[in-house]
């Protein structure tokens, strides 16, 4: 009497590398697309503590079709479908009976068309459904490996016993290695393809088995269904099983005559570790917290490209090297906002230490920094690393030389070294932010940024006003830029935009001299720095997305919200919280500018330190070489009427 054959379902084992790859692809490639994906799994036998089970394994390589050199003894590669749902609700709500039925129908079609005889791998497939909670790094998954219930009853008529014939053992091992562990026929002691099943009278079916001694692996169920349908005259067939280290065994499988059906029913949804018919959950290990933090930060940014701004180039931020000249209230808040955009490379420059009053306004410092009197530049660099450990940040203590601040003979060598250091820093960075307390401190960095054609931003505060502006690029780099603009009356080329000093008609001088305490300290309304730095960083975010970058034009009047994927690229933004107003003027470069004009840059190129020393000691020299002195004389003589524009309050 035949005993009932028992088939051991696959246990899906998914390695963490599979989830790592899925998370990366979902975030960067698939995004909101729920289209089915083809993946490959490997079926193999697993043994642990006298317990054996049939494993279906997936790892990082499962996203690629296996090559011939990846075929291993005792392992079969199974192609399946993976559906990654966008929401937990979508993962819980699909018609899983329909998913199983559809996959079973494909297997049955390969049986009825005899396609299985040429491609036996068509008998094995799976449907893996997934919901990836990328923020929490939790993956919910439920796998289905369909098995056709055809015939309805399958039994064992001959107990499976070891095969001692060495020639049969060698034939089985050699053929499985040749055909990728796919089933085949043994006829007259020779291996024959499955296409011979229709004509073979005394055929023996050989297949790789991954189950225990008392059971058969799940993949045999569909193979029996295919044989029973193709050979309706058969009620049994002799089987050779290859069970890894357990060797080759021979026995006979029988079945009742199957009824004629259009498509047989199927089973296949996997049970969880508790034996329940429901999904499994994988929580990714928190081994490297810094790397995990990076993943979460990048996740928030990359989600922007899913729906809101599909064409955003996030590498414009992650690759940007930012130099922050001034590490006070503005410098701290600029750094925090830049980190929100994914910027990871900072250099902080300042010449002062953290005071007891700084922590409440300067967001990178703590009370203890003030107690210890830490260097602002170094404390800021340490702070951003605490916020995001993988940030590359350094601090530099530096007193930037300024017009109107004379250099004594004893200070010449040290000042020359400072100028050289500042020049090297500007050359080594992509974006420069001028965030110092005084106007004159911004003069040398403005000159050097223009010399090296660097994207430069200035941010300044008054009590209830602010200015955030970008400096124009080098006019010599893109001389044809104006010709490409449709209407020069409506837009100013980036290379023709004014710098911070272009609207001045006097040279910068020592603005700290003869000032009372309330004039020496930056006294502003509490929220001003957050508004100004937020606006400045968003201007940076838009400008770097423009194809021309530093040379992005600025609209005159109303801004073009479609200039970049993030909107307009204004020249400057000036605002006041007194009336809660904001405007975006665009100003052309001044050919008599004391910082970025060609005559000033030429003088620096020709005379170098000699020129700078003269400017530091005699700031009126800048007015002489730029023609401003003559302009003043003409005004005094009544030849011109000049309205002076002074925005000291926006410093």
Q: Which CATH class is domain 3-148+268-283?
A: alpha beta
Which one, of 40, 262, 222, lies nearest residue 116 by Cα?
222
| SS3 state at 318 | helix
Q: How does DSSP classify residue 443?
A: H
Q: Please, are residues 475 and 496 in contact by the beta-carbon 8 Å criterion? A: yes
**Active-site annotation holder among 242, 521, 593, 596:** 521
CB neighbour list of residue 122: distance below 8 Å, 6 or more residues apart = 106, 107, 110, 115, 116
Given this model, what pLDDT does residue 290 score? 87
Distance CA 329, CA 370 (A): 14
Here the tokens at position 181 are 């562990």
Q: Per residue, what are the HEC states of 272-309? A: CCCCCCCCEEEECCCCCHHHHHHHHHHHHHHHHHCCCC
Given this model, what pLDDT does residue 611 score? 97
Block means of pLDDT (10 residues each) for the chain, 651 residues, are 84 96 96 97 65 82 84 81 98 95 97 95 97 95 97 88 88 86 90 90 87 81 95 92 78 88 92 93 87 88 94 96 98 98 98 94 96 97 97 97 94 97 98 95 97 97 95 72 55 95 87 56 86 98 97 87 92 95 95 95 96 94 90 70 47 41
Here the tokens at position 478 are 């893109």
**For helices 376-387 and 329-340, what crossing angle results, to 10°?**
20
Given this model, what pLDDT does residue 630 score? 84
Which one, of 317, 299, 308, 310, lies nearest residue 541 by Cα?
317
Distance CA 311, CA 288 (A): 31
**Location of each CATH 3.40.140.100 domain in the chain:** 152-263
| DSSP conformation letters of 146-168 | EEE--SS-EEEEEEEEE---HHH
Given this model, what pLDDT does residue 636 score? 73
Which one, of 523, 373, 397, lies nearest residue 462 by Cα?
523
Given this model, what pLDDT does residue 489 score? 59
Q: Please, are residues 242 and 173 in contact by the beta-carbon 8 Å criterion? A: yes
Q: Which CATH class is domain 152-263?
A: alpha beta
Given this model, what pLDDT does residue 47 score? 53
Whether 456 sits among the annotated catalytic residues: the reply is: no
Q: Please, are residues 294 and 318 in contact by the beta-carbon 8 Å criterion? A: no
Q: Please, are residues 474 and 495 in contact by the beta-carbon 8 Å criterion? A: yes
Given this model, what pLDDT does residue 490 score? 83
Q: pLDDT tens digits for 463-506? A: 999 999 999 998 865 554 554 555 555 899 999 999 999 999 88
Q: pLDDT tens digits for 299-312? A: 999 999 999 999 99
Q: pLDDT tens digits for 110-169? A: 999 999 999 999 999 999 999 999 999 999 999 999 999 999 999 998 888 888 889 988
Given this model, what pLDDT does residue 649 score? 44
Q: Dihedral (C-alpha) 540, 541, 547, 551: value to the nearest 10 degrees? A: -10
Span 308-474+489-591 CATH architecture: 3-Layer(aba) Sandwich (3.40)
**Location of each CATH 3.40.140.70 domain in the chain:** 3-148+268-283
Conformation bin of residue 126: beta by default, left when phi > 0, alpha when psi is -120 to 50: beta
**Location of each CATH 3.40.50.720 domain in the chain:** 308-474+489-591
């Amino acid at each position: 009497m035949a005993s009932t054959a028992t088939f051991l379902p696959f246990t899906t084992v998914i390695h963490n590398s599979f989830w790592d790859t899925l998370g990366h692809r979902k975030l960067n490639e698939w995004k909101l697309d729920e289209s089915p994906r083809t993946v490959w799994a490997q079926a193999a036998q697993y043994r642990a503590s006298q317990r054996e089970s049939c494993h279906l394994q997936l790892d990082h390589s499962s996203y690629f079709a296996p090559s011939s050199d990846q075929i291993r003894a005792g392992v079969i590669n199974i192609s399946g479908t993976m559906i990654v749902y966008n929401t937990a609700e979508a993962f819980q709500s699909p018609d899983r009976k329909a998913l199983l039925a559809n996959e079973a129908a494909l297997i049955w079609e390969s049986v009825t068309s005899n396609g299985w005889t040429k491609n036996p791998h068509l008998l094995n497939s799976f449907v893996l459904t997934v919901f990836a909670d990328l923020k929490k790094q939790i993956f919910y998954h439920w796998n289905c490996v369909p098995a056709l219930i055809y015939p309805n009853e399958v039994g064992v008529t001959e107990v499976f016993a070891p095969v001692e014939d060495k020639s049969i053992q060698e034939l089985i091992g050699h053929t499985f290695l040749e055909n990728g562990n796919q089933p085949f026929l043994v006829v007259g002691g020779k291996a024959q393809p499955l296409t011979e099943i229709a004509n073979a009278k005394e055929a023996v079916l050989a297949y790789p088995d991954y189950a225990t001694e008392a059971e058969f692996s799940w993949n045999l169920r569909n193979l029996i269904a295919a044989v029973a349908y193709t050979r309706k005259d058969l009620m049994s067939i002799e089987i050779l099983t290859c069970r890894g280290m357990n060797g080759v065994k021979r026995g006979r499988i029988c079945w009742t005559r199957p009824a004629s059906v259009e498509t047989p029913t199927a089973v296949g949804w996997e049970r969880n570790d508790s034996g329940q018919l429901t999904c499994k959950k994988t929580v990714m290990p928190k081994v490297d917290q810094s790397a995990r933090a990076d993943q979460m930060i990048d996740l928030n940014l990359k989600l922007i490209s899913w729906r809101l701004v599909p064409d955003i180039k996030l590498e414009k931020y992650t690759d940007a090297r930012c130099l922050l000249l001034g590490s006070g209230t503005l410098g701290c808040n600029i750094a925090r906002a830049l980190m929100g955009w994914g910027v990871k490379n900072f250099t902080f420059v300042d010449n002062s230490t953290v005071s007891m009053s700084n922590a409440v306004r300067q967001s990178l410092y703590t009370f203890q920094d003030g107690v210890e009197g830490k260097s602002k530049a170094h404390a800021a660099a340490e702070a951003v690393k605490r916020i995001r450990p993988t940030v590359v940040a350094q601090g530099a203590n530096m007193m930037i030389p300024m017009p109107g601040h004379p250099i004594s003979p004893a200070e010449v060598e040290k000042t020359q070294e400072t100028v050289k250091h500042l020049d090297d820093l500007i050359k080594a960075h992509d974006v420069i932010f001028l965030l110092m307390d005084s106007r004159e401190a911004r003069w040398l960095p403005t000159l050097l940024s223009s010399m090296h054609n660097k994207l430069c931003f200035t941010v300044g505060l008054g009590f209830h006003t602010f200015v955030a502006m970008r400096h124009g690029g080098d006019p010599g780099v893109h001389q044809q830029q104006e010709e490409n603009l449709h209407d020069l009356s409506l837009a100013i080329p980036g290379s023709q935009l004014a710098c911070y000093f272009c609207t001045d008609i006097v040279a910068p001088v020592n603005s700290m001299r003869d000032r009372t305490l309330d004039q020496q300290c930056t006294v502003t309304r509490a929220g001003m720095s957050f508004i100004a730095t937020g606006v400045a960083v968003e201007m940076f975010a838009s400008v770097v997305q423009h194809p021309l970058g530093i040379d992005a034009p600025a609209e005159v009047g109303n801004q073009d919200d479609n200039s970049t994927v993030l909107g307009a690229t204004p020249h400057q933004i000036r605002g006041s919280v007194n009336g809660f107003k904001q405007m975006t003027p665009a100003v052309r470069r001044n050919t008599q500018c004391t910082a970025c004009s060609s005559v000033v840059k030429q003088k620096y190129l020709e005379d170098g330190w000699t020129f700078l020393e003269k400017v530091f000691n005699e700031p009126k020299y800048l007015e002489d070489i730029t023609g401003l002195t003559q302009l003043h004389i003409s005004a005094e003589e009544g030849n011109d009427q000049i309205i002076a524009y002074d925005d000291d309050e926006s410093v």
